[in-house]
Structure 1
């Protein structure tokens, strides 16, 4: 329907679309979880946009969105604290786990900034998130293994304004990932290793509340013309190496910060075989926000 000359938004299609159907409402598992969630704001130095959408598979089967994201600004330092999580489909209440992991990581990092720490203590953040996941699992089903209930990936970190730009530091547990989008080429530079090693595709995922022996971390500075992207594999899988149609679309629309609603609409693109939940958080240095 069109009113007052304003056209209704049409679903974004990349290549061959997936099947069209009206989504079924998600079952409530521990908490409510909307189909689509988006956020957007700016500090003096950084512009943030984020969106999380329920995938076609979960829409069809009436399952909740199992992705989550959370971000806050630390008022005194101007640091942006962020987290993205992807609940494992094998876990019965993974939507709860993803949301709780994001909240716990952001709270712990924010508390470290309050304490005036010059560097992030990521192992302490992971430990706190694990503790909160165990608490959540105990509240849902005290006798069930937390890994069977609330298992989730997690990427979290900070973007701190510095004398020479925005200093980014982040870690991950699981197969969610992060990229730096170089707008001058454009190219997507992955900050962590991918799912494949040669021709072998990894089939197992280390997920909280399990803790990996070695915590993957990355630190660096956002240069002019670069955007930090943090996303779940629902975004990363169709993106691939960034050289295809999905990469071209996002490089075009992320050249400047879009409206939060437009990012959510864009992220909800239809493409055959890609039906997972999708979450993407993007950070631009403020000088790049046009």
Structure 2
């Protein structure tokens, strides 16, 4: 997919000076003036004690493969004093790199905690299977999902002061819908074999509506599937956040390769994925230009901090480059 070229202007003043503003070619890029951009607001007192930083970055390098992520608080959450509800993680495990992405459900009161719990527990579950001799292709994703759901149940039970109902348990306790209303979150896991001659990857969507793309500077953007749709093919944002049962068809698995020296793999929450859509949009063109080659984490953050009309959700992006 060759995306449309974006019209780009640069914010000249205020706390977002230097940020790129994206508009559709031929359209005015001044949907919001510099003066109208909201100022960064502190997280409200009720959630400040449990919230993480507004921005998180990390990078892992192994055998010519570089993986990095940037996660940032969206404009809507800044405007209303809410924490960043996205989370991400990176870990090298032998020849493999494990990346996780989670998008806390907006309707869940403490979903930012749930997103963090999912990233930690899913990473540990995958790492343990790999250490036990599993390959990315043979990983038991149902077991990984079960581990993450149990971790969320335990965390929710501690917050609620109630016994946790774990997988297979018969004792009474809150049901998963109660837990999900507190900590509900999506979950995506990416496992890359960095030592393969051509690096291979397996992407597992445990629950939710994330996106993945292959970026190729010469050939454009190749979408690797999203779960934003129902059985009829209609676009929908409806999800069943963990620890609730995510429903039939999960986990959803996509596997492929990353060509050395010319391709990059992108895994992202819908804060960016919705703007990229099928890979043909101006935002996709902007990110293709900025991210098809390796960049430092602070440059990844800058690219993910673009301004676009009606794009105000948290944004998390994992990039994997093979050199």
The TM-score normalised by the length of structure 1 is 0.89
Farther off after superposition, 22-31 or 88-97: 22-31
Task: Give CA-to-partner distance per residue, 1:200-241, whole Å, 9 cap, x none.
Answer: 321411221122232211112223422111100000011122
Of 180, 183, 187, the match for 1:150: 183
- Decide which of 197, 200, 221 is 2:257's aligned counterpart: 221
Match of 1:78 in 2: 95
1:170–1:217 contact (8 Å) kept in structure 2: yes
Of 108-117 and 28-37, more deviation after overlay is shown by 28-37
Q: What is the CA-CA distance between 1:153 and the residue it aligns to?
A: 0.6
1:186/1:220 CA distance change after superposition, 3 Å: same
State the structure with more CA Rg: 2
Q: Distance in 2 between matches of 1:137 and 1:116?
A: 32
**Residue 69 of structure 1: aligned partner:** 88
Secondary structure at 1:91's aligned position in 2? coil
1:200 match: 234
Q: What is the rounded CA distance, in whole Å, between the counterparts of 1:32 and 1:184 in structure 2?
A: 41
Which 4+ runs in 1 deviate beyond 4 A? 196-199
**Partner secondary structure for residue 200 of structure 1:** coil
Partner SS state of residue 227, structure 1:
strand
Give the distance between the partners of 1:199 and 1:221, measured in 2 at CA: 27
Q: Secondary structure at the match of 1:229?
A: strand
SS of the equivalent of 1:23 reads coil
For the residue of structure 2 that corresponds to 1:201, the secondary structure is: coil
User: Is the 2:115–2:185 Cα contact (8 Å) retained in structure 1?
Assistant: yes
Q: Which runs of 5+ in 2 are unaligned?
A: 1-15, 24-28, 163-173
Shift of 1:177: 2.0
Gap change, CA 1:221 and 1:199, over 3 Å in 2: closer
The 8 Å contact of residues 29 and 93 in structure 1, kept in 2 or not, is answered as: no
Correspondence 1:166 to 2:206 = no
Give the match for residue 117 of structure 2: 100
Give distance in 2, aligned partners of 1:228 and 1:191.
13
Q: How does 1:7-46 map to 2 (within 5 A)?
A: 10-15=18-23, 16=29, 17-18=31-32, 19-27=36-44, 28=47, 31-46=50-65
CA distance in 1, matches of 2:151, 2:225: 27
Let me know the Cα RMSD of the aligned residues: 2.0
Partner of 1:5: none
Residue from 240, 244, 261 that aligns with 2:298: 261
Look up the match of 2:218: 184
Which TM-score applies when normalising by structure 2? Answer: 0.80
Superposed CA deviations along residues 83-102 of structure 1, whole A, max 9, x for unmatched, are 00000000000000011101
Residue correspondences, number: 277
